[in-house]
């Protein structure tokens, strides 16, 4: 599929996705969300994709939020539908993707932009990044999972402070509160994200998928995460990757995983 709002390509087993609406600071309009949903399904299904790098075009913004111009005339029903569809098709799909997704936050990550980064598994920020959930300034609250995922990542006190004040925080502050894993100079951002993905690429893909599912179970209200871990652990024993990993260890060589 040819996309209008995002760039995507697979290089050396990494799916690179760039949100490409630089003039609008990569704000998430419906068309962009639909394309993101499509490309995440593509990455999920393609065996050759071992990890995903998500970033925004230009040097100023990762994503400056949902596109305010699209929903300014909405009523309650339309607002609820907007949040529900977006959460299901994009944000939950990212969080539940079996391939690790690294957000390379290259500037503003505001509102839906921070929510997008929060749905990703790992976050790397450039030193100039600014992060925040400013929705209450618009008379709204975050609707793409931000109230939940920010709280899971930084705890209730900091989450309510960030949401209620609408303040942006710097990349260094974000690192301090555990909101991002790394802060690097902007010129090193993609390299740092690639460094993480290049390590992940060498590990067993099915085991990584099992780990993501098990870790995500911590936050699923209707699932016992320990039980998920037990089941996923057990399933690993039936994979070719498990045989390869243990055999390679015993033969003192590097494993080559097939993802089977």
Question: Which residues contribute to the site for ligand COA (CB under 6 A)?
Answer: 24-25, 27, 64-69, 108, 110-112, 134-135, 138
- Verify whether residue 229 is a known catalytic residue: no
Q: How far is the CB of 223 from ligand COA (least distance, A)?
A: 30
- Verify whether residue 227 is a known catalytic residue: no
CB closer to ligand COA, 53 vs 131? 131
CB closer to ligand COA, 159 vs 197? 159
Q: How far is the CB of 82 from ligand COA (least distance, A)?
A: 11
Q: How far is the CB of 176 from ligand COA (least distance, A)?
A: 22
Length in residues, the chain: 260
Dump the DSSP string for 75-102. Answer: -HHHHHHHHHHHIIIIIHHHHT-SS-EE
Q: How far is the CB of 145 from ligand COA (least distance, A)?
A: 13
Which parts of 9-127 fold into alpha helices (H)? 30-45, 68-71, 76-86, 92-95, 112-119
CB closer to ligand COA, 108 vs 257? 108
Residue appearing with tokens 């790098």: 53
Nearest residue to 209 (alpha-carbon basis) of 88, 53, 50, 89? 50
Catalytic residue (one of 95, 115, 194, 232): 115
What is the rounded CA–CA span in Å between residue 250 and residue 244? Answer: 10
* Contacts (Cβ under 8 Å, ≥6 apart) of 51: 13, 14, 15, 99, 100, 101, 102, 197, 200, 201
The phi and psi torsions of 144 (rounded to 5 degrees) equal -110, 40
Catalytic residue (one of 35, 80, 88, 135): 135
Residue appearing with tokens 């913004």: 61
Q: How far is the CB of 9 from ligand COA (least distance, A)?
A: 25
CB closer to ligand COA, 86 vs 112? 112
- Per the CB < 8 A criterion, the answer to whether 92 and 44 are in contact is no
Paired sense of beta strands 130-132 and 169-170, if any: antiparallel
CB closer to ligand COA, 120 vs 131? 131
Catalytic residues: 115, 135
């Amino acid at each position: 599929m040819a996309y209008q709002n995002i760039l995507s390509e697979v290089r050396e087993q990494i799916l690179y996705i760039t949100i490409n609406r630089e003039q609008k600071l990569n704000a998430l309009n419906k068309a962009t969300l639909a394309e993101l949903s499509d490309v995440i399904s593509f990455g999920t299904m393609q065996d050759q994709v071992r990890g995903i790098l998500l970033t925004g075009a230009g040097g100023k913004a990762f994503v400056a939020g949902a596109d305010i111009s699209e929903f300014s005339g909405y009523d309650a029903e339309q607002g609820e539908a907007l949040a529900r569809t977006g959460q299901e098709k994009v944000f939950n799909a990212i969080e539940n993707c079996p391939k690790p997704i690294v957000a390379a936050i290259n500037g503003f990550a505001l509102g839906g932009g921070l929510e997008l980064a929060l749905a990703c598994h790992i976050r790397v920020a450039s030193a100039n990044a600014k992060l925040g959930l400013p929705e209450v300034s618009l008379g709204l609250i975050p609707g793409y999972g931000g109230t939940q995922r920010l709280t899971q990542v930084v705890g209730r006190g900091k989450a309510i402070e960030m949401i209620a004040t609408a303040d942006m925080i710097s990349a260094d502050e974000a690192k301090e509160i555990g909101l991002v894993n790394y802060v690097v100079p902007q010129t090193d951002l993609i390299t740092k994200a690639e460094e993480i993905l290049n390590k992940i690429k060498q590990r067993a893909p099915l085991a990584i998928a099992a780990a993501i599912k098990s870790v995500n179970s911590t936050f699923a209200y209707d699932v016992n995460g320990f039980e998920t871990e037990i089941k996923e652990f057990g399933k690993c024993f039936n994979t070719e990757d498990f045989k390869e990993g243990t055999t390679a260890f015993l033969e003192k060589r590097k494993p080559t995983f097939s993802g089977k």
